Amino acid sequence: MVDHYSITLDGTAQQVSDVIPAADRKQLDVPALSVQFEIQDDDTNAAYVGGDDTVSATDYGTRIPPIAAGEPLAVPRIFQGVKLRLREFWIIGTAADVVHILVVRA
């Protein structure tokens, strides 16, 4: 099963599960084989992914690079494992920027 979400950042550290629509949160404890993060192609600022609420532009696990006008899409950030859960990921970025998430369920 494959799910996708678009989340709008608010400029603070956000737990990914908190920005998933409430109706879909029941799926957050379903293990995922792969979780992919990609910034929207017209956003010009980076976003940062980490494992807790201390994630910041200087303390993070991975950086999702912005995409400059006319440039090819940036490489998405893909996490693979046996029991990944969206509630384990935190993200921070510029308010109003959008990050797309693709989840491949176990």
CA–CA distance, 47 with 97 (Å, rounded to integer)? 9
- Domain ranges in the chain are 2-105
pLDDT at 29: 62
pLDDT greater than 70 at residue 27: no
Q: State residue 30 phi and psi, 5-degree precision.
A: -80, 125
What is the pTM assigned to this prediction? Answer: 0.84
| Angle (nearest 5°) at CA 90 between 88 and 91 | 150
Residue 24 pLDDT level (bands cut at 50, 70, 90): low
Q: State residue 92 phi and psi, 5-degree precision.
A: -140, 145
Token readout for 43 is 């956003």
CATH top-level class of 2-105: mainly beta
CA–CA distance, 40 with 95 (Å, rounded to integer)? 13
* Each residue's pLDDT tens digit, 34-92: 888 888 877 889 999 999 999 999 999 999 988 766 666 656 677 787 678 888 899 99
The residue whose two tokens read 């017209």 is: 42
